[in-house]
Amino acid sequence: PGLGRRFAERKRCADFECSMLMCRGKAMRDFKGPDCRFVNFKKGEAVYVYYKLIGESTELWAGSVGSDFGYFPKDLLEINHNYSNEELELPTDVSLACS
């Protein structure tokens, strides 16, 4: 409620721009998002995490698979490498837009 186009008010990032990788994981099963704000992947693909939503939508993280970037359910990822132990809490901007 009151978030507008955002999924959450806050996020955790490794740096102030949320441009540094936080961790990498392996997709535990196929995922096809409900719209273009989500990244799709197949079981076994590498998924790179750039930020984690906190607050209202704690189940969503944002990351990339190949050249595609978007949100995905964190429960579908088996973390196999942490790039940073630093986690900064920052306000979220408007959610990724569909073009």
Query: What's the pTM value of the predicted model, to 2 decimals?
Result: 0.86
> Domain 10-84 - what CATH class?
mainly beta
Residue tagged 């955790």 (tokens): 12
| Higher-pLDDT residue of 11, 94 | 11
Q: Provide the phi-psi class of 2: left if phi over 0, else alpha when psi is between -120 and 50, else beta.
A: left
CA distance 47 to 83: 13
Per-residue model confidence (pLDDT) at position 5: 59
> pLDDT tens, 47-87?
999 999 987 667 899 999 999 999 999 999 999 999 988 89
The CB density around residue 91, as the number of other CB atoms within 10 Å, is: 9
Written as six digits, the tokens of 14 are 């490794």
> pLDDT tens, 2-40?
445 567 888 999 999 999 999 999 999 999 999 999 999
